[in-house]
Structure 1
Amino acid sequence: MEQPADGGDPQRPLPSWLADDPAAIPAYALARAGNAMTARFTRELATVGLRPHTFTVLVHLAREPALTSAELARRLAVTPQSMSALLHGLAEAGWVERPTGALRGQRIDVRLTDAGREALAAAGPVLAELGRPEAMGLTAEEATTLHALLQRVLSTLSDPRRSP
C-alpha cells in the first residue's frame, strides 16, 4: 500500500473531532465565517477605493478627530512601522494630514481631511449592503441574535483576564 504524501499512516484512524467534521466545532465555523466575510468586505470596499485597514483608520479618525500614529497602531494591532507606511499612503491620497517638523517627544496628531470624510462616506452603501440580513443568509431576527452573540465572543476574547 502507498504511503500518503505527508508520510502519515493510511491505516491510522482519524481523531474523532476530525472524523466527525471540524465544521461542527464552533470556533472553526466562526473562523471560516470570519474569513469569508473578510474576503467579501475586502472586495466590496475595493469598489469604492478602500481597503480594510484604510477604512478602519478613517473610522477611528472620524470618531476621534486627533490620534497619534502610535494610538492608531495599537487600535489596529499593527506595528508602528506598518502604521507609518499606511498613514504615508493615506496622506498621499489626501485623506489624512500629518504635520511635519515636530520636535522629538512632541505629540503629532493625525487628522482626517474632507477628502478622507468623503472616502469614508462612500463606504456607507457598501456597509449597508453587507449588513443586510439577507446578504448573510439570515432573517432580521437571526441577524440581531448573531450580532449579540458576536459582541459577546469579541468581548470575551478581547478581555486580557480571560486569555489563556
Structure 2
Amino acid sequence: MPVDIESLGRAVKQAQYRNHRALETALSDVGTTLVQWDALRAIARTPGSSGRELAVETFQGEQSFGALAGRLEAQQLIERRPGRGRRVEHFITDAGRQVLAAGRPVASMALAESFAPLDENERATLLTLLQRVNNAARD
C-alpha cells in the first residue's frame, strides 16, 4: 500500500516542531534561545564565515541572520570583523563559547528524550534516510 506523501511530510514537520519546542524550553534554562544557540554553533564550527553563509547554515534569511548577529554581538557572544570587500566575518567570543558549552548537555538531553521511542538501530536508519533525502535535494 502506498504511503500518503502528505502524511509523511506532516510527520516529519511534527517531529521537527516537537524537537524545536523541547530544545527551546531546555535552552531557556541556560539563558539562550534555540535560534541563538544554533547561530553560535554554526559560527563556532566555521569561524570567519559570512552572514550569507551562516544564514544558509542556520536556515534563515540573510536579513534575519544579520539582525540576530547584531543581537549576539551586542551581548558580546560574537564578534563581526570586516573581511575582503564588503564581506563581514563572524567569530565566537569566550562568552559565546560558554553559552554554547552550557547548552550542549541540555540540548543533548532534550534530543535524547525526543528520540527515546527509537532504539539505536532505528535512530541510525532514520538518520541515514533523512540524509539521503536531504542530499538528493542538494543535487
How many aligned residue pairs are there?
Answer: 136
8 A contact 1:45–1:126 mirrored in 2: yes
8 A contact 2:115–2:123 mirrored in 1: no
- How high is the TM-score relative to the length of structure 1? 0.70
Q: What is the distance in 2 between the residues matched to 1:134 and 1:83? A: 27
1:144 to 103, 124, 127: 124
Q: What is the distance in 1 between the residues matched to 2:85 and 2:94? A: 28
Partner of 1:89: 71
8 A contact 1:130–1:136 mirrored in 2: no
Partner of 1:57: 39
Superposition deviation, residue 66 in structure 1? 0.9
Superposition deviation, residue 27 in structure 1? 1.9
Q: Which amino acid aligns with 2:21?
A: A
Superposition deviation, residue 26 in structure 1? 1.9
Instruction: Point out the structure with the larger helix share.
Output: 2
Q: What is the distance in 1 between the residues matched to 2:17 and 2:100? A: 23
Large movers: runs of 4+ above 6 Å: none
Give the aligned CA root-mean-square deviation in angstroms. Answer: 2.6
Answering whether residue 107 of structure 2 is matched by residue 127 of structure 1, we say yes
- Give structure 2 stretches of 5+ with no counterpart: none
Secondary structure, counterpart of 1:122 in structure 2: helix
- Give structure 1 stretches of 5+ with no counterpart: 1-21
- Note the alpha carbon deviations across 1:24-55, whole angstroms, 9 max, x for none: 93222222222112211221122212222212
Q: What is the distance in 1 between the residues matched to 2:128 and 2:41? A: 21
Q: What is the distance in 1 between the residues matched to 2:103 and 2:83? A: 36
8 A contact 1:68–1:109 mirrored in 2: yes
Secondary structure, counterpart of 1:130 in structure 2: helix
Distance 1:108 1:136, change over 3 A: same
Distance 1:71 1:43, change over 3 A: same
Distance 1:129 1:35, change over 3 A: same
- Note the alpha carbon deviations across 1:42-99, whole angstroms, 9 max, x for none: 2112221222221221111111111122221232342322122101110111110123
- How high is the TM-score relative to the length of structure 2? 0.80
Distance 1:152 1:131, change over 3 A: same
